[in-house]
Structure 1
Amino acid sequence: MECNDGGTDYTATGRTSMVRLKNHSYWRGSVLTGNQAVNSCIALCALKLTQWLHDSSIHMNLEIISDQEAGTRWSEKQAKQRQVIQPQFSGFKYGRHWSDEKIALLGAIQSLFEGSMYTFVFLWTPALSPNDEDIPHGFIFATFMLASMLGSSIASRLLSRNSPKVESYMQIVFIISSASLLLPILTSFLVAPSKVKGGGISFSGCLQLLGFSTFEACVGIFWPSIMKMRSQYVPEEARSTIMNFFRIPLNMFVCIVLYNVDAFPITVMFGMCSIFLFVASILQRRLSAIADKPKTEDWAMMKDKDAEGEPLNVT
């Protein structure tokens, strides 16, 4: 687009770019939240399917079919990985990506949240049944999946709006998730523990179930939101490699927790997860402060690019 003097109208170009970015962000948020909702639905269907499939031969046949399907498609995936793995690691050779503070903060946030989430997966059953209570595991798991779907629906509405930004509302999500995992500690002090073996879920277990459902709703908000931030700050050609490197301390933490699960009280485990989530909220606040800085360099690059592509007007 040209002005009367033959120059480039950077204002109109910027408006066009912002409209395209807004539409792209809307569809990207819809896809990510839809993916989380589909995952929750599949989990619920799998739970119902396991109640029907009691014959071990059926399980074996399904496993054989899945192995054959993976074997037939593995060569293609392996060939694609060979094409992209070399340029990804070449970036790490010169330390190009590690110098970006946004990537470091985002990787630390993801590792802290996922570490707490995977630890919660192994701890919620003994937390709700400390005295071998007969709790409805299927109903509780379905409740968690519904809470996760509710969280993904909330994230879909948040991502479709310009305000609040994903960097801002995720601070609140991490604080809420940190508080929800504090309920096992609070109930151990405020509610008298039951010493009766067996029976149904206790009153403290009901309170913890409410907090765990809140945490699952935060998980539903987390996945599409973290995926959007990764698409914004992490280069696409090295995204999987960078995130996998940050998962190394995550896997080490989960393995240490599971290996020493009997050495520490369950309240200590939930206390560590709550602290990790609170640290994630602090890092998220730092990431939000960095993201709010004006992107003058990006506008300068766009102007230079438009100037290069503008043909010369010979009078």
Structure 2
Amino acid sequence: MELFYLIVFGGLAVIVATMELSKNNKDRINTSSAFNSFKNNYLLVYSLMMGIFLFSSSSHFCHIICKCLSSIVLDLEFMMLNQIWGPYVYYLYTTYGFGKGDIGQLFIAGFGSSMLFGTIVGSLADKHGRKRASVTYCITYILSCITKHSPQYRILMVGRILGGIATSLLFSAFESWLVAEHNKRGFEQQWLSITFSKAIFLGNGLVAILAGLFGNLLVGTLAMGPVAPFDAASIFLAIGMAIILSSWTENYGDSSESKDLMTQFRGAAVAIASDEKIALLGAIQSLFEGSMYTFVFLWTPALSPNGEDIPHGFIFSIFMLSSMLGSSLASRLLARASIKVESYMQIVFVISSASLLLPVITSFLVAPSKERGGSITFAGCIQLLGFCVFEACVGLFWPSIMKMRSQYIPEEARSTIMNFFRIPLNIFVCIVLYNVDAFPITVMFGMCSGFLFIASMLQRRLFGVSERSRQDKVRELEAEPLNI
């Protein structure tokens, strides 16, 4: 392995370890033992769920599958699809004899399912309970994993649809349960930021790396076949479900029997339309996540435009370390009451926009190599460092957006509104997947950079609106004694 990758990985590991070990009292929030027990229970469940999700459907060790499939397909579309849905899914479908067209339809079905059914399952979670919705996620994803044993296209399509529904539940029900339960137990609002930052640090960072190593062990070392990761995921899902059933209590949004799904949809839509802060938050989230998923499509062809031999799995680990760095920094920022999340996120979006503009800049400043194969180029090295900066911004984004959602989204429709936010994201990803060969990579990176810059402008607007709302509330409180 080239020295460059080892230096980047080692440098990031040292920085992350230093940041975590050097936290002082200003970077920490004093909490109660009851909260610590509650937090650790949630982190265990979240890490299992998110680790399983990344383990069975993310690109952990793509270099193994790229080598396995190098004689089958080497074009841009494969690399993009491979990076978002991962080596195990793509490889499994090819072993069943399906071509890129059929596999592409399966991938789009997952996003389409999440888009169509997301708001429905979100509303059901608000009405019938977030704990039940979390258990439903486990059952639905287990069923999705079981379908991977069948080579029949219809059954695999059912599995993708189930996976899309499960994704909607994963990204709404768990967070909704956490926020409601946190408030129900009377914990301080600022303590939520601890749980958010730790969840991203562990579930989206450390556990993702460990899960990738475990997947590599099953598929590569033990040669148990491409279905093995999904069987292992089912086992861990069952463990997580047992923890939820035995230790979680139920909470609801609006459980009124008089409200049907359409009434809940209208209520959520009215909340978004009537509160500018919620609308801005949804737009910001869609712009960032859309850029993030597009980046997942593009980083492999960007770093190896001429088929350069790059260690995909090791680079993915570098990205996860970068994300952990960002979440560690977020925990410090969120721990300080004097620093407002709406303020520093403006800077985060500007930096992330600049980092994804690097491939466009290097295409003009660095002459492209015409040699096939070989190691990563100088332009690739610069881009990799920029991508690490973007991943650090991703690590900052998740706990910060969770914090803002906990502040602005009304409790009675939290899951419904959160899945409303995912509708434009899923539409965008489906369009990109369908037109994956239509635009050059530099154009797509430029588009993502523009989206992120727009997100920074919207974040600036959100900061101004939220400040005015705070000032209005202060004036109302100051005026109350005069009205008595």
* Structure 2 length-normalised TM: 0.54
Q: Describe how 1:195-206 pairs up with structure 2 within 5 A.
A: 195-206=370-381
Q: Does residue 93 in structure 1 map to residue 266 in structure 2?
A: yes
Q: Does residue 33 in structure 1 map to residue 197 in structure 2?
A: yes
Question: What is the CA–CA distance in structure 1 between the aligned matches of 2:336 and 2:240, rounded to whole Å?
Answer: 39
Q: Does residue 114 in structure 1 map to residue 289 in structure 2?
A: yes
Give the structure 2 partner of residue 192 of structure 1. 367
1:164 and 1:60, CA in 2 relative to 1: closer, same or farther beyond 3 A? Answer: closer
Give the structure 2 partner of residue 265 of structure 1. 440
Question: What is the CA–CA distance in structure 2 between the aligned matches of 1:67 and 1:163, rounded to whole Å?
Answer: 40
Alignment counterpart, residue 24 of structure 1, candidates 182, 188, 202: 188
1:25 and 1:129, CA in 2 relative to 1: closer, same or farther beyond 3 A? Answer: same
Runs (5+) with no aligned partner, structure 1: 1-20, 309-315
Question: What is the CA–CA distance in structure 2 between the aligned matches of 1:274 and 1:204, rounded to whole Å?
Answer: 18
User: What is the aligned-residue RMSD (CA, Å)?
Assistant: 3.2
Give the structure 2 partner of residue 47 of structure 1. 212
Aligned length: 285
Question: What is the CA–CA distance in structure 2 between the aligned matches of 1:60 and 1:285, rounded to whole Å?
Answer: 42
Question: What is the CA–CA distance in structure 2 between the aligned matches of 1:73 and 1:90, rounded to whole Å?
Answer: 33
Question: What is the CA–CA distance in structure 2 between the aligned matches of 1:81 and 1:297, rounded to whole Å?
Answer: 27
Give the structure 2 partner of residue 62 of structure 1. 232
Of 256-265 and 277-286, more deviation after overlay is shown by 256-265
1:159 and 1:70, CA in 2 relative to 1: closer, same or farther beyond 3 A? Answer: closer
Alignment counterpart, residue 287 of structure 1, candidates 450, 462, 476: 462
1:58 and 1:258, CA in 2 relative to 1: closer, same or farther beyond 3 A? Answer: closer
Question: What is the CA–CA distance in structure 2 between the aligned matches of 1:215 and 1:87, rounded to whole Å?
Answer: 42
Q: Does residue 240 in structure 1 map to residue 410 in structure 2?
A: no
- Tell whether the 8 Å contact from 1:25 to 1:160 is kept in structure 2 after alignment: no
Question: What is the CA–CA distance in structure 2 between the aligned matches of 1:231 and 1:176, rounded to whole Å?
Answer: 24
Q: Describe how 1:130-145 pairs up with structure 2 within 5 A.
A: 130-145=305-320
Of 97-106 and 281-290, more deviation after overlay is shown by 97-106
Q: Deviations along 1:80-121, whole A, 9 cap, x unmatched?
A: 889859478535435244210000000000000000001111
Give the structure 1 partner of residue 30 of structure 2. none
Of 67-76 and 98-107, more deviation after overlay is shown by 67-76
Aligned AA for 2:421?
F
- Tell whether the 8 Å contact from 1:36 to 1:149 is kept in structure 2 after alignment: yes
Q: Secondary structure at the match of 2:273?
A: coil
- Tell whether the 8 Å contact from 2:254 to 2:412 is kept in structure 1 after alignment: no
Aligned AA for 1:34?
K
Aligned AA for 2:199?
N
Q: Deviations along 1:255-305, whole A, 9 cap, x unmatched?
A: 111211111100111111000000000000000011111443476479879
Runs (5+) with no aligned partner, structure 2: 1-182
- Tell whether the 8 Å contact from 1:111 to 1:249 is kept in structure 2 after alignment: yes
Q: Deviations along 1:139-170, whole A, 9 cap, x unmatched?
A: 10111000000000110110111232111100
Identity of aligned residues (%): 60
Question: What is the CA–CA distance in structure 1 between the aligned matches of 2:253 and 2:278, rounded to whole Å?
Answer: 24
Give the structure 2 partner of residue 147 of structure 1. 322
Compare CA radii of gyration and give the structure with the larger one: 1
Question: What is the CA–CA distance in structure 2 between the aligned matches of 1:184 and 1:67, rounded to whole Å?
Answer: 39
1:49 and 1:68, CA in 2 relative to 1: closer, same or farther beyond 3 A? Answer: closer
Q: Secondary structure at the match of 1:173?
A: helix
Q: Secondary structure at the match of 1:98?
A: helix
Question: What is the CA–CA distance in structure 2 between the aligned matches of 1:122 and 1:298, rounded to whole Å?
Answer: 46
Q: Describe how 1:139-218 pairs up with structure 2 within 5 A.
A: 139-218=314-393
Aligned AA for 1:123?
L
Q: Secondary structure at the match of 1:182?
A: helix
Q: Deviations along 1:225-275, whole A, 9 cap, x unmatched?
A: 011111111112212211211211111111111211111100111111000
1:188 and 1:177, CA in 2 relative to 1: closer, same or farther beyond 3 A? Answer: same
* Structure 1 length-normalised TM: 0.80
Of 66-75 and 38-47, more deviation after overlay is shown by 66-75
- Tell whether the 8 Å contact from 2:254 to 2:413 is kept in structure 1 after alignment: no
- Tell whether the 8 Å contact from 2:323 to 2:394 is kept in structure 1 after alignment: yes
